[in-house]
Amino acid sequence: MTVSLRKARTVIRKTFEKGAEMGLKPLSVVVLDAGGHVIAFERQDGAAPGRFAIAHGKAYGAVMLGMAGTAQMARAEQQAYFMAAVNGVYGGQVVPVPGGVLLKSAKGAVIGAVGVTGDTSDNDAEAAMTGIEAANLIGEV
């Protein structure tokens, strides 16, 4: 099972709708495939220019480790040097906080990840989950 571009677009559009409904700051959303490669990305007008890298880092770490942002953050708080080292081996591309959401098949396999940034990490993650569910995908925050 793979994430189609059509599904990725739905995730992004519905995440933005949820962000607007929640009154969040402008969001940026990336959708990665099971190999950690970008399928689609959008940055809302008014977001800071560097948001691609943050969104990507949240999602990339999730795919590469098979661990969603919340679990990564817990590990970073327990053992900061471990997550710093993980970041090093992945070329500095891991941002271990909520808003990095795993996409899973019904059987539990990781089929990609979504990265959302722009508001607080928890709000980012909440908007992401709404987008993921709207696309009939299964997310793990």
Q: 137: which residues sit within 8 A by CB, 6+ positions away?
A: 3, 7, 11, 103
Instruction: Give the footprint of a second copy on residues 78-137 (CB under 8 A).
Output: 79-97, 109-110
Asked if residue 31 lies in contact with residue 134, where contact means CB atoms within 8 angstroms, the answer is no
Asked if residue 84 lies in contact with residue 90, where contact means CB atoms within 8 angstroms, the answer is no
What are the helix (H) ranges across 1-141? 5-22, 51-65, 69-78, 80-89, 121-134
Interface with a second copy (CB under 8 A), residue from 19, 36, 131, 139: 36
Binding of a second copy by 45 (CB under 8 A): yes
Instruction: Give the footprint of a second copy on residues 47-86 (CB under 8 A).
Output: 47-50, 52-54, 56-57, 63-67, 76-77, 79-86
Binding of a second copy by 138 (CB under 8 A): no
Residues that bind a second copy (CB under 8 A): 4-5, 8-9, 33-50, 52-54, 56-57, 63-67, 76-77, 79-97, 109-110
